[in-house]
Amino acid sequence: MSEEFSIEGNVPEEAALTPGEQWNLEGSASLRQTRLGLTFEYVGIALMLLSVLGAMFVAIARLPPILLLIMPFVMIVGALMMFVGPIICLAVPKESGAKELLIGSVVCQFANIFYSVTEFFIPTLIPAPFKIGLNYCGIFGLILFILFMKKLALYINRQDLSSKATHVLVFGIFMVIASIMIIFLLLAQMIPPLSIVLLPIGALIAFVMYANLIGYLRKALALRT
């Protein structure tokens, strides 16, 4: 941390801190809870990736099929942690300007989970026109959470992490658009069927970028506590 010396007594003074930097420096309960929420999100992503890659490894290595029964459980735990993480982060200070984005993210994710559960148990409960919007609520919730992290990074004066959030957001939106185009071109038989492998590769890259952003931001909140 930079210091200044007063002219009168050569006594060091702390440089002026922004409210966000002061919040990060104090290590308050809201800071610890926000960091915990990011930890939940980070571990949840890791479990989701582990379940997918683990299932692929079991199939390729021809390991006992019973191991595949573990992967859905791992995926469910990961999904729950990714849902609970943003809720825990609601402790973030209102003056950060990030809380509204976080609330929107939680609402969208809850709507997506509600849609998924009802579609599995009672497919006829939700009218068809509403299903499209609810199906995409998960993506909207993810976008809002990235915007929340971008706002939080600016609040603690970490421009570098704010830029990383922008990169993740741009790549994520690009992947959504590219996925729609690839599926359309495949249905129109304008590209070879093997082009479909680009989708999981791109999704994996996007998830790794997303996880790294969460990890960097979590460490930034822990630096001064």
Which tens digit of pLDDT belongs to each residue from 146-160?
999 999 999 999 999
Q: Could you give the CA distance from residue 87 to residue 214 in angstroms, rounded to a whole number?
A: 15
Give Cβ neighbours of residue 165 (< 8 Å, ≥ 6 apart): 146, 147, 149, 150, 153, 213
Q: Find the domain containing 35 and state its range.
A: 3-222
- Cβ(21)–Cβ(27) below 8 Å: no
Burial of 221 (0-12, 13-18, 19+ CB in 10 A): buried
- Cβ(104)–Cβ(147) below 8 Å: no
Q: Mean pLDDT over residues 8-37, rounded?
A: 75
Structure-block tokens of residue 125:
């409960």
Domain count for the chain, please give it: 1
- Cβ(140)–Cβ(108) below 8 Å: yes
Q: Could you give the CA distance from residue 92 to residue 32 in angstroms, rounded to a whole number?
A: 10
The model's pLDDT over 80-136, given as tens digits with 9 standing for 90+, comes to 999 999 999 999 999 999 999 999 999 999 998 888 888 878 877 877 777 777 888
